[in-house]
């Protein structure tokens, strides 16, 4: 075996390994993107199913409803955190998820200090902010990310 043959074998082996490594990285990156999209879609569907995000101008709080709404917002914040953890480190979704979490935190802070009537305004604001961020996530990848509004699937419309 000549030096040229050894050199050709070494170059071929190196190039084969480089191609395999590149293919593995591209596959891993694609899989991470798919997992992120699945987590975001799951979050959006969970938020769409939350009754707490159904707001109107003329509703009256039922007994204990405020406590239920606060619990639902705490759960929404947990779902947002789980989606954030499933995102890639520099994902374009992260700023939107941070804004959602901040809106939930603000609502929960108000819930400890305000009366039930004042909380209606805070809940409308929260719903508006969460809806805006869901829409922004949808606009980033409209073919891949759902755009269902929070509370939109909570009750049967018939």
- Helices 65-86 + 94-111 axis angle, to 10: 160
Tell whether the model's pLDDT for residue 105 goes beyond 90.
Answer: yes
Q: 4-15, pLDDT tens digit by residue?
A: 888 888 888 888
In whole angstroms, give the CA distance from residue 101 to residue 143: 25
Q: Give me the DSSP letters along 91-132.
A: -TTHHHHHHHHHHHHHHHHHHTTS-HHHHHHHHHHHHHHHHH
pLDDT digits (tens, 9 = 90+) for 22-70: 888 888 888 889 999 999 999 999 999 999 999 887 778 788 889 999 9
Can you list the domains of the chain with their CATH numbers? 34-140 (1.20.120)
Computed over every residue of the chain, the mean pLDDT equals 91
pLDDT in the model for residue 9: 83
Q: What is the pLDDT of residue 129?
A: 98
Classify 19 in phi/psi space as left (phi over 0), alpha (psi -120 to 50) or beta. alpha
pLDDT band of residue 158 (cuts 50, 70, 90) is low
Among 31-35, 114-118, 130-134, the range of highest mean pLDDT: 130-134
């Amino acid at each position: 075996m000549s030096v040229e043959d050894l050199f050709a074998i070494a170059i071929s082996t190196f190039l084969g390994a480089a191609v395999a490594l590149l293919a593995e990285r591209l596959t891993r990156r694609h899989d991470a993107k798919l997992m992120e999209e699945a987590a975001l879609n799951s979050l959006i569907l969970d938020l769409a199913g939350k009754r707490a995000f159904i707001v109107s101008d003329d509703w009256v709080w039922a007994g204990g409803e405020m406590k239920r709404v606060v619990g639902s917002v705490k759960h929404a914040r947990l779902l947002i955190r789980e989606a954030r953890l499933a995102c890639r480190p520099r994902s374009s979704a992260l700023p939107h998820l941070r804004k959602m979490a901040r809106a939930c935190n603000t609502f929960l802070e108000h819930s400890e200090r305000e009366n039930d009537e004042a909380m209606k305004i805070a809940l409308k604001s929260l719903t508006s902010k969460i809806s805006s961020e869901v829409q922004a996530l949808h606009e980033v990848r409209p073919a891949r990310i759902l755009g269902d509004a929070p509370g939109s699937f909570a009750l049967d419309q018939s």
